[in-house]
Structure formats: structure tokens, C-alpha cells
Amino acid sequence: MRTIQITRFVLLTLLIGLQSCTRNPVTGKRQVVFMSKEQEIAMGQQAHPSVVATMGVYEDKKLTDFINQKGKAMAQISHRPDLPYQFYIVDSPVVNAFAVPGGYVYFTRGIMAHFNNEAEFAGVLGHEIGHITAQHSARQQSSQILSTIGIIAGAVISPTFAQFAEQAQQGLGLLMLKYSRDHESESDKLGVEYSSKIGYDAHQMANFFATIKRISEKSGQMVPNLLSTHPDPGNRFGKVHEMAKDYQAKNPGNYQVNRESYLRMIDGILYGEDPKQGFVENNMFYHPELRFQFPVPSGWQHQNSPIQFQMAPQQGNYAMILMGAQGNSIDEAAQNMVKQLNLRVLESTKTTINGIPAAVVVSQQLPQEGQQQQQTAQNTLQIASWLYQMGNSIFVMHGLTYAANFNGAFPTFRSVAENFRPLTDPDKLNRQPERVRVQPAPRDGTFQEVITAMGIPANRVEEIGTLNSLKASDRVARGSLLKVVTRGR
């Protein structure tokens, strides 16, 4: 979380208007679409600043040049070459890629670290461009962006806390936008077609689904296939291989993989959380750059981003968020908060917390203008907010729940908020990030034998194996390039 002025914003207001019937540029079939090409572009332009504010841009010129070169080449052979495509790497460790209408395509540094060749990247690039060219985004993404970008900011402002509670139970993820299975399958097919047309072996796209499956299994994100909006990665592995085989049989050619060139390009990429943006260790959140710390209750899910830190129990209907506050003083920041979030103050007190000037405000969110539903304890959002003045910066810690649950949740909120304190531990203040380093295998052997010889501890063999798309028993030849993870600049 970086210090950023937080303002109340509305991302999307574009789905109001007359329906129009157009021909889908991919399928050729006529369909009802609620927006024009110009509206799609405007939607992407509106969403982009919020994506950047929420996730940050990862600065790496050689990688940025690479994704732009390949992205523009693929855009030209796509079904909608006339869109103003733009390609970005965002500063998130999550393994993810996503697209928004109008041609905006994003890759996290986490997914860039997990690709093992250019062809894997090209397949995912084609998949995301496919969502745009087939107009999947135009049909349903207006609602998805609001629930994906700035999940908590939207929840604070929205009177419907239930939507956030569901998100919290799923781990507060700023993850892949939810498309239907048909849309995902169609984009897989386009990923095969588009990546093949610019010269890459689409079988590698299928192989990357094996990596996704390992990551999902490790993080406990497996769900019954019939309940998932995304096709299971294991099923997609076989289907994409079949599509790649069929495409190459009909279009013989010299399809590239380019493993070594890709690995050389990502050598040194940041891996995992960036400590300077904050990190959790032993149930404590530390922010070396902003020099504060506070506890994270045991068992809570948490998500850190450049603009906020959010956490919630895996089962429950309350959550906590830390973010920057607007104002030159605590009083001004509190007044701005009440106005921006449309709050009715129930109580407000000044205090000092661990030597930090602070204020505590308990409030309820008022109905939005035009809202007809009568407020009750079951549908009224009640918030306890602790504001802290640290030098020229003001931070606010929100505890959110429905009014009916507030008294039960408040002791937990208070325990966290009253343990917000300055960070002075040199080990935490000087923590260096982990980075991917590409090194030749020093010997022949199994992956586990070789990676152990390269200094990787036993408890990280599976993690580094996933990073390399290799299993512990896979054979590795001496001199083969492997990704390891080391801490340092």
C-alpha cells in the first residue's frame, strides 16, 4: 500500500442506452450489444487509471517492450485490428492476466515470472485479446470491473455489503475476471489461433494450464467443475492440446517456443510480495516504507495493493481495510471521510494510540439517493474507523460489518486498530525482495536433486518446481537453464 490520495470514483456508467443488434466480429453471428466501439474504448480509458492506482505498473523496459511488440503484432492479425490496443505489466505477485474493453490488456509480474517460454506468454496473450475481439468484455465486464478493481473501496461506498462478504470469503482476490465457460473456451480457441498466426507453438499454451492447476491446488482454490465459471485447468490442458494439434495439421509451419530467450529476459524479475509495499509475517503486517505495523488476526485472508490493505475471516460477514485518508489534519480527514462515504456519525473521540495522534469514528452508511429499501440492522453497513496522524500522512483503519453484527465484531476491530504502531525493527525496515534468478543446472539429475544442489531448501522444492513447470522427479540435464529465487536487489 502506497500513500495515495483516495477519492470516491465511479468506474463505469456506460451500459445505459438503446440496445443495438450487431454482427460479432469473431463468430459472424448477429448479437445484441449494449455499447458501441467508441463506448468500449471509453470504458477502457476510464478503467485504466483505477487499475494502475490499485495495482501499480511494474517498470521493466525490456519486458514492457517485449509485450508491446508481441501484443501489437497479434492485434494486427486479430478480428479487431482497428482497436487502440495497449499492453501493461502490473505490479502484483498474483499469477494473472486480464483485459478490459477497448483493447487494454494487463499481465501481472507474477504471471510473467511463471511463464517458461515465449510461446506460453503468446498463448495467454491471444486468450486475453480473444476476450476483447469476441466482445466478451462488452457484454458483461461493466459489472465485473467494479467488483474486481478496488473491491473494498466499492464495498465501503456501496450499501450492499453482501457482495463484499462473498468476495472476502473467496480470499479478497484481485483475480481473473469472471467470464462464462463458453467465453473462456472461445478465448482458448482464439489464443491458439492468434499465437499460432504470429509463429508460436500453441501446445505451450496448454502446458501453462498445468502450471495454473498446480498453483490452484496449492492455494486451495479447487472447486467442483460444475460450480466453476472457468473451465477446470486440467480439462483445458487436453482441449487446448487438441486445438493446437488440429491447427498445426491444417497449417503446417515452423512454430517457435523460444525458452532460453524468454528466461534470459525475466532474469531478475521481482518475485512474491514487494516488502517496500508491505508484507505479512507471523500474523503481523509490516510496511517498511511507511514505517508502521499492525496485527492480522490468525486465519484471516488478506490482500495488499498499492492503495490499501484489506483482510477478512474466511467465514464471516465483516472485514477490515487500511488506506490513506484525505486531509491536512485528523479532523479534516474525518470530515472528508464522512462526506465521501455518505456516513451518519454515531460517536467520535480523539485519542492517542501507541504515541500516535488518533481519532475513532463510529458511523453508519446512509441510503444512497433514490434508494427505496428501508434500512434495518441487517442491511445497514456500520463502520468503526480509526484515523492515525503519522507526520504529514494520515491513515484510516476501517472495520466494516452490518449493524446487527457490529457489537460482536467491534472487539476484534479494536484489538487490531489499537495495536497499530510505528515500525522500528531494522530487520523489517531493511527487508529486501525476492527475485527470480536464471542459472544453469550444475549437474545431471532429478529436478529435486539439482535444485537442492543449487541451494533451494526442501520446503520450497514444489514452489520452485511450479515456477519451472517441473516435477521433483523430472530429469534435468547439466547446463539447462532453471529459475531459482534469491533475496536481494
DSSP label at residue 438: E
Query: Do residues 267 and 295 share a domain?
Result: no
Instruction: Check pLDDT > 50 for residue 146.
Output: no
Determine, yes or no, domain membership for 240.
yes
Structural domain including 472 reads 434-487
User: Where does 366-453 show beta strands of DSSP type E?
Assistant: 381-390, 393-402, 421-422, 434-440, 445-446
Strand blocks (E) in 39-134 = 86-90, 97-100, 104-108
Highest mean pLDDT among 19-33, 314-328, 388-402: 388-402
Same domain, yes or no: 133 and 201: yes
Within this chain, do residues 416 and 481 fall inside the same structural domain, yes or no?
no
For residue 349, the model assigns a pLDDT of 97
Please tell me the predicted confidence (pLDDT) of residue 329.
Answer: 95
Whether residue 13 is predicted with pLDDT greater than 50 in this model: the reply is no
Residues 196 and 109 in one domain: yes
Looking at the structure, do residues 347 and 412 belong to the same domain, yes or no? yes
Task: Examine residue 8 and state whether it is found in any structural domain, yes or no.
Answer: no
The answer to whether position 261 is within a domain reads yes
Write down the pLDDT at residue 366.
87
Check residues 128 and 378 and name the one with the higher pLDDT: 128
Percentage of the chain exceeding pLDDT 70: 79
Does 367 share its domain with 481?
no
411 lies in a domain? yes
Residue 17 to residue 84: CA distance in whole angstroms? 24
Distance CA 265, CA 269 (A): 9
Q: DSSP per residue over 223-286, as a string?
A: --GGG-SSPPHHHHHHHHHHHHHHHHHHS----B--HHHHHHHHTT-EES--GGG-EE-SSEEE
Do 182 and 145 have their domain in common? yes
What's the rounded Cα separation, in Å, for the pair 113 and 222?
22
157-165: average pLDDT: 32
CA proximity to 466, closest of 97, 66, 111 = 111
What confidence tens digit (pLDDT) does each residue in 364-412 have?
988 876 666 688 888 889 999 999 999 999 999 999 999 999 999 999 9
Beta-carbon contacts of residue 336 (< 8 Å; ≥ 6 apart): 325, 326, 327
Please count the other Cβ atoms lying within 10 Å of the Cβ belonging to residue 121.
Answer: 28
- Kindly tell me if the per-residue pLDDT of 148 is higher than 90: no
- pLDDT over 50 at 171, yes or no: no
Contacts of 122 (CB under 8 A, 6+ apart): 70, 74, 194, 195, 198, 200, 204, 205
Q: Which of 331, 364, 322 is nearest to 349 (CA)?
A: 331
CA distances from 179 to 62, 64, 169 (A): 31, 27, 20
Is the pLDDT assigned to residue 132 strictly greater than 50?
yes
Q: Does the residue 13 lie in any domain? A: no
Q: 469 and 414, same structural domain? A: no
What's the distance, Cα to Cα, between the start and end of the chain in Å?
Answer: 20
185 and 50 part of one domain? yes
Q: Total domain count for the chain? A: 3
* Paired residues of 138 in beta bridges: none
Task: Tell me what pLDDT residue 180 has.
Answer: 67
Residues 103 and 132: beta-carbon distance below 8 Å? yes
Out of 240, 271, 302, pick the residue that ends a domain.
Answer: 271
| 286 and 365 fall within a common domain | yes
Contact (CB, 8 A) for 1 and 308: yes
Whole-number pLDDT of residue 316: 73
Residue 27 has pLDDT above 70, yes or no: no
Largest CA distance in the chain: 73
Confidence class for position 30, pLDDT limits 50, 70, 90: low
Exposure b/e, 71-84, CB count within 10 A at least 16 = b: bebbbeebbbeebe
Tell me how crowded residue 240 is: count the other CB atoms within 10 A of its CB.
Answer: 26
Query: How big is the chain, counted in residues?
Result: 489
Residue 374 belongs to some domain of the structure: yes
What separation in angstroms does the CA of 278 have from each of 7, 31, 94, 112, 413? 22, 46, 15, 21, 20
Are the CB atoms for 57 and 94 separated by under 8 Å?
Answer: no
Pair 487, 430: CB distance under 8 Å: no
User: What does the pLDDT read at residue 2?
Assistant: 45
Contact criterion met (CB below 8 Å) for 453 and 443: yes
Cell matching residue 251? 497449417
- Which CATH number do you get for residue 413? 3.40.1000.10
**Inside any domain, residue 188:** yes
Enter the pTM of the model: 0.77
Report whether pLDDT(249) > 60: yes
Q: Are 395 and 292 in contact (CB under 8 A)?
A: yes
pLDDT number for residue 385: 97
Q: Which three cell numbers stand for residue 399?
A: 472495520
Query: What integer pLDDT is reported at residue 244 of this predicted model?
Result: 96
pLDDT > 60? residue 9? no
Name the domain boundary from 211, 241, 271: 271
Question: Whole-angstrom Cα distance, residue 80 to residue 192?
Answer: 16
Q: Which of 418, 312, 409, 416 is nearest to 359 (CA)?
A: 418
Confidence of residue 24 (pLDDT cuts 50, 70, 90): low
* Spatial CA neighbour of 241 closest among 187, 299, 202: 202
Read off the pLDDT band of 231 (50, 70, 90): low
- Res. 177: pLDDT tops 50: no
**Looking at residue 315, what is its pLDDT?**
76
If asked whether residues 324 and 402 sit together in one domain, one would say yes
Domain ends where: 221, 238, 271?
Answer: 271
Residue 258 has pLDDT above 90, yes or no: yes
Domain identity same for 30 and 147: yes
In a domain, 59, yes or no: yes
